[in-house]
């Protein structure tokens, strides 16, 4: 049977004293991260300002053994680190290393200092010798003991690590497991191309359209109202704090609803189709366009696309993303004519060459499907 690496995010309920202990550990790990960053920033600025040194030669210096040395130096100098859960400090070093590597690969910006004020705090514990396990219907973590949790799923596979998170006052454990068995889904013989839109969340090549989640509109109005109210209160006052708490709850609700809908939608797509063609979106570029930005960030496509991608991988289906430069909207899917002057405002057009009448989005999704099939054939034959 095929096995995969999978993360289970489960809600946990640490009591007050445990929460304090966890907060302290968030602090220790933040401290280590910021110290590493501080040190590296210093070196990096020296290197970058020296024209004779190629900064990229600097990468090999951030490796496991130098990080371990730094960690030992820090532990010797700052005694309070002795109270911390030790595998989490190692994980923090790993996280720091990864963010530096990503920076040098131009995948993200230079890492930033971690702040106590960030509403999301976390630490990652490693599972050594079964130190992370389920016991008496509770989750057992090294140094923290048993924690009450709620989740109906059966956690399968071997636990590699556990990230304990506090997100807007809610606590979670993300269990990263390997060797999780999955069985492939049945093949349906059906393929689909999907164009992602604003008015419609998804437009399928078979003409079907999916609306964005309507349940969210009401909550989003409430959020807008509260934000207005908040702006009129004195920052830090009791009334201000009350509204912030209310807002946090609503944000959590939005997250949950969206997550739930996206999980269902992505599973449905993977069940129904063998091959799913999608456009590679550069959300970053689109957010620059002010008028579009609000809706796009709200729809948060990238998370949905990620779900479709990893589920395709799990269940032996295919998700193929089309290059950004492929003119999916401008091509006529019947004859291949390219309409260069197609603007965003034009929703329907007729091909001047073969006279086919096109719905802009459906035409785009058919082109995406055709291109995905072409790429797939190339991969399988070449």
Question: Does residue 334 bind Zn ion (CB under 5 A)?
Answer: yes
Shortest Cβ 349–Zn ion spacing (Å): 10
Name the token pair of 141: 């973590």
Q: Give the x/- contact pattern for Zn ion in 349-378, rule: CB under 5 A.
A: --x-xx------------------------
Helix (H, G, I), strand (E, B) or coil at 326: coil
Question: Does residue 178 bind Zn ion (CB under 5 A)?
Answer: no
Q: Say how many C-beta atoms besides its own lie within 10 A of residue 189's C-beta.
A: 7
Of the two residues 90 and 363, which places its CB atom closer to Zn ion in the complex?
Answer: 363
Name the token pair of 291: 């008028």
Of the two residues 270 and 331, which places its CB atom closer to Zn ion in the complex?
Answer: 331
User: What string of DSSP letters covers 142-206?
Assistant: TTTEEEEEE--SPP-SEEEEEEEEEETTEEEEEEEEEEEEE-PPPP-S-EEEEEE-SSSSEEETT
Shortest Cβ 334–Zn ion spacing (Å): 5
- The answer to whether the CB of 2 falls within 8 A of the CB of 167 is no
269-298 residues near Zn ion, rule: CB under 5 A: none
Shortest Cβ 353–Zn ion spacing (Å): 5
Which of 363-375 are b and which e, b meaning 16 or more Cβ less than 10 Å from the residue's Cβ? bbbbbbbbbbbeb
Shortest Cβ 323–Zn ion spacing (Å): 22
Question: Does residue 9 bind Zn ion (CB under 5 A)?
Answer: no
Query: How many residues are given for the chain?
Result: 382
Shortest Cβ 335–Zn ion spacing (Å): 3
Task: Please choose, out of 29-37, 72-80, 346-354, 366-374, the segment that lies near Zn ion by the rule CB under 5 A.
Answer: 346-354
Task: Please choose, out of 114-122, 265-273, 347-355, 366-374, the segment that lies near Zn ion by the rule CB under 5 A.
Answer: 347-355
- The candidate with the shortest Cα–Cα distance to 1, out of 334, 316, 380, is 316
List the one residue from 223, 337, 342, 359 that touches Zn ion (CB under 5 A): 337
Shortest Cβ 224–Zn ion spacing (Å): 44
Task: Please choose, out of 210-218, 313-321, 330-338, 341-349, the segment that lies near Zn ion by the rule CB under 5 A.
Answer: 330-338
Check residue 206 and give left, alpha or beta (phi > 0: left; psi -120 to 50: alpha): alpha
Task: Please choose, out of 143-151, 159-167, 318-326, 344-352, the segment that lies near Zn ion by the rule CB under 5 A.
Answer: 344-352
Only one residue has tokens 């479709």, namely 308
Total site size for Zn ion, rule CB under 5 A: 7
Task: Please choose, out of 163-171, 195-203, 329-337, 360-368, the segment that lies near Zn ion by the rule CB under 5 A.
Answer: 329-337
| CA 379 distance to own-chain centroid | 27
- β-partners of residue 48 are none
- The answer to whether the CB of 91 falls within 8 A of the CB of 161 is yes
- The answer to whether the CB of 334 falls within 8 A of the CB of 356 is yes
Of the two residues 195 and 274, which places its CB atom closer to Zn ion in the complex?
Answer: 195
Shortest Cβ 348–Zn ion spacing (Å): 14
Of the two residues 188 and 350, which places its CB atom closer to Zn ion in the complex?
Answer: 350
26-85 residues near Zn ion, rule: CB under 5 A: none
User: What string of DSSP letters covers 102-118?
Assistant: HHHTTSSPPP----TT-
The dihedral formed by the CA atoms of 192, 370, 324 and 322, expressed in degrees to the nearest 10: 60
Cα separation of 125 and 142, whole Å? 8
Of the two residues 287 and 335, which places its CB atom closer to Zn ion in the complex?
Answer: 335
Of the two residues 5 and 354, which places its CB atom closer to Zn ion in the complex?
Answer: 354
Shortest Cβ 339–Zn ion spacing (Å): 9
Of the two residues 111 and 193, which places its CB atom closer to Zn ion in the complex?
Answer: 193
- The answer to whether the CB of 191 falls within 8 A of the CB of 352 is no
Question: Does residue 331 bind Zn ion (CB under 5 A)?
Answer: no
Question: Does residue 332 bind Zn ion (CB under 5 A)?
Answer: yes
Instruction: Give the binding site for Zn ion (CB under 5 A).
Output: 332, 334-335, 337, 351, 353-354
């Amino acid at each position: 049977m095929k096995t995969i690496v999978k993360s289970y995010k489960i809600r946990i309920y640490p009591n007050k004293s445990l929460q304090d202990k966890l907060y302290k550990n968030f602090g220790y790990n933040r401290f280590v991260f910021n110290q590493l960053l501080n040190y590296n920033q210093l070196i990096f600025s020296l290197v970058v300002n020296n024209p004779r040194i190629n900064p990229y030669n600097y990468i090999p210096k951030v490796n496991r053994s130098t990080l371990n040395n730094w960690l030992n130096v820090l532990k010797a100098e700052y005694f309070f680190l002795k109270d911390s859960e030790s595998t989490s400090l190692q994980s923090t070093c790993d996280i720091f290393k990864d963010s530096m590597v990503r920076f040098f690969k131009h995948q993200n910006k230079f890492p930033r200092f971690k702040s106590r004020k960030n509403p999301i705090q976390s630490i990652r514990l490693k599972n050594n010798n079964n130190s992370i396990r389920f016991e008496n219907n509770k989750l057992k973590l090294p140094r923290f003991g048993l924690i009450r949790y709620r989740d109906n799923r059966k956690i399968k596979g071997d636990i590699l690590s556990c990230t304990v998170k506090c997100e807007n006052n809610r606590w979670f454990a993300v269990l990263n497991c390997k060797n999780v068995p999955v069985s492939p889904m049945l093949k349906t013989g059906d393929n689909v191309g999907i164009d992602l839109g604003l008015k419609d969340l998804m437009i399928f090549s078979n003409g079907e359209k999916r609306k964005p989640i309507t349940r969210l509109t009401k909550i989003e109005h409430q959020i807008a109202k509260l934000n207005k109210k908040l702006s009129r209160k004195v920052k830090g006052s009791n009334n201000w704090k009350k509204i912030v708490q209310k807002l946090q709850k609503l944000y959590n609700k939005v997250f949950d609803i969206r997550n739930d809908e996206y999980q269902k939608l992505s599973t449905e797509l993977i069940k129904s189709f063998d091959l799913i063609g999608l456009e590679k979106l550069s959300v970053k570029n689109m957010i620059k366009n002010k008028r579009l930005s609000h809706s796009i960030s709200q729809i948060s496509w990238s998370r949905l696309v990620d779900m479709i991608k990893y589920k395709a991988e799990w269940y032996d289906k295919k998700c193929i993303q089309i290059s950004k430069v492929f003119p999916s909207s401008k091509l006529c899917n019947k004859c291949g004519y390219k309409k260069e002057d197609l603007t965003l405002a034009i929703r329907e057009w007729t091909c001047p060459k073969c006279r086919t009448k096109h719905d802009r989005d459906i035409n785009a999704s058919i082109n995406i499907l055709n291109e995905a099939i072409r790429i797939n054939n190339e991969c399988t034959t070449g």
